[in-house]
Amino acid sequence: MSQPVQPVQPVESADGASAATSAEADLLIIGAGPTGLYAAYYAGFRGLKVAVLDSLPEIGGQITAMYPEKMIYDVAGFPAVKGQDLVDALGAQAGQFDPQYLLGHRAEHLEHGEDFVTVTCDTGLVVTAKVVLISGGIGTFSPRPLPAADAFSGEGVVFFVPRLAELADLDVLIVGGGDSAFDWAMSLEPLAKSVTLVHRRDKFRAHEHTVQRVLASSVEVITSSEVAALHGNGRVESADIVAKLDGATRTVPAQAVVAALGFIADLGPMSRWGLEQRKRHILVDSTMRTNYARVFAAGDIADYDGKVKLIATGFGEAATAVNNAMTVIDPAAKVFPGHSSDSG
């Protein structure tokens, strides 16, 4: 088995500042979310030197940054698993093969050569790899703003809930009608003093099973309405909710407002790398290969006809990408390595 990539050590410049550093790998994975972590495991299983690059300071991607305590119900083998527990398990699985984590570095430039790919980061780090696998989720993302919060200068308005306990015993107002809004409503219902969910339409984008669970709970669901204003001295204390049909206004207590209105995704620097794209996603073929022979993509950032955006889908795409990348790295290798249970 190949030796793991050695940790990158900063090179001190003459004035004491950190100069550019470099690293080499068989496979560079851009994105340390669930798909990237599983790809790191699978590439290690296939004997590759692996480096994992991410702009965030921790592994886990969006889950660690936004949903560490959110329950996930559609990962095979887990009736339910907390987001951070899934990330920890994926990290332990990949850790068997000692991948090199390059965290806090954002990939800025990509140079695709005949025998290698070079990625240069915003920090000056330069990584050279035989193959690159992009598993960057939705790329960079920023939350959609809550208009009613524009005129409110106090605290208490958040866009995601990394720690559910921070909202315990509070009156919580959740704005939105998607999966995140309903998942947080379901998770906060046993902890908060009260939970009110407001959506501007009478139909929801969330999974029907979750919607029915919330409707059957103590959560108050207000539809066809919008949050018109927030009130409070230093911190939000209440919110005005206006019905779209007749303009009737009611005020509800709220010491915390969760604006779960979705995110605006952007491929960022990757959009300038010459990769074929469709609606801010990278197009791939059935091997997960992009229009560049040595660049693959997997997970939410990858797109093809019939794509289903699930963590479970990303795991399969990661294995497909790594196995097909293996034949690019070593033309004598087989795409299918056999079953892991046969390896001992």
Residue 202 assigned ligand-binding role: no
Residue 135 assigned ligand-binding role: no
Distance separating alpha carbons of residues 311 and 244, to the nearest angstrom: 36
What the block records as the tokens of 330 is 């070593």
Q: What secondary structure does DSSP assign to 161-200, as a single string?
A: -S-GGGGTTSEEEEE-SSHHHHHHHHHHTTTSSEEEEE-S
CB 8 within 8 A of CB 22: yes
Distance separating alpha carbons of residues 318 and 316, to the nearest angstrom: 5
What the block records as the tokens of 29 is 């994975």
Residue 224 assigned ligand-binding role: no
Residue 123 assigned ligand-binding role: no
Distance separating alpha carbons of residues 206 and 74, to the nearest angstrom: 14
CB 222 within 8 A of CB 198: yes
DSSP assignment, residue 295? E
Neighbours of 246 (CB within 10 A): 8
Residue 42 assigned ligand-binding role: no
Residue 300 assigned ligand-binding role: yes
CB 61 within 8 A of CB 84: no
The CA–CA distances, whole Å, from 77 to 46, 73, 248, 338 equal 23, 10, 48, 21
Binding residues for FAD: 35, 54, 62, 67, 107, 141, 300, 341
Binding residues: 35, 54, 62, 67, 107, 141, 300, 341
